Amino acid sequence: MQILLNSIAVLLRVFTNSFSNVFQKKLANEGENPVYVNFINYLLLSIASLPMLFFIDFSVFTPVFWKYAVLGGIFGAICNCFMVLALQNGELSVLGPINSYKAIIGLIFGIIILHEIPNIYGILGIILIIFGSYFIFDTASPKVFLKKDIQYRMYALLFSAIEAVFIKKVILLSSVTTSFIVSSLLGALFAYMILKIFTKEKIKKTDRRHFKFYILTAICFGIMTFTTAYVFKYMNVGYALSLFQISIIINVVLGYKLFKEKNLLKKLTGSLIILIGSATILILGR
């Protein structure tokens, strides 16, 4: 039964992540400030979380719990902000597959912090991801990483990888539900701080045409957040992250269908190679 529930949670997480990106991109493309989109997303999620507060006894949580919860909230808000900025400037079918670089970043941090030397599978995985990237970027030049959308996506990826560690810690110290509530509320707080720091805009009345996309984004983001926490509780983070990479295929298809992005077959080929490389690193590379 637990295997079935894990499988359902992974599938929900994969699809809601992709559709959350779609709705955020639609909002950004129609002139909504990405920093504002980030804040409203977390605000709606935190409002939905408020009734659950009555079922949580926060007095039992230690300062260690709050440390990881606050750090998770900070990195989560920054990650999503950079993600929306990337979606505003780039193609969904390109930005999605870049998520697999998280495996390489994890490998690099493992070398620097834990002194873990990757084995032959880790090296093979890196080669596959780089090779697959050629099909996505349509170039082997490292200059592609100077593009704003790619840079923003890499920043989002980095903060997401760090956030995953803090989420796991919060779950181990509490529960999936508590992790969801805390990440929603603290995410809203830090997203608001980002809004105040990086934009002079006053919080405005949302265009009615955009309201449905904000609601849909919050629903997808909420399901994604909860299912991520659920999967992390019952599965090794490395295995979970490798399964989450399936969303890159969905992003390529959605980019082609909804935003008329080109080179579908080429990008699907590259995504499949990247997916294999990422799974090789996360499952066999250490």
DSSP string, 42-59: HHHHHHHHGGGGGG--GG
**What CA–CA distance (Å, rounded) separates 119 from 110?**
12
Q: What is the pLDDT of residues 214-225, one digit of tens each?
A: 999 999 999 999
Task: Give the mean pLDDT of 168-176.
Answer: 89
pLDDT digits (tens, 9 = 90+) for 111-134: 765 566 778 888 888 888 888 888
Q: What is the extent of the structural domain holding 115?
A: 2-284
The total number of structural domains that make up the chain: 1
Cβ-proximal residues to 203 (8 Å cutoff; 6+ apart), any chain = 36, 39, 195
User: Which pLDDT score is estimated for 137?
Assistant: 81
pLDDT for 246 equals 84
Amino acid identity at 107 = L
Q: Is the pLDDT of residue 70 over 90?
A: yes
Q: How confident is the model at residue 189 (pLDDT cuts 50, 70, 90)?
A: very high
Give me the mean pLDDT over the 161-174 stretch.
Answer: 87
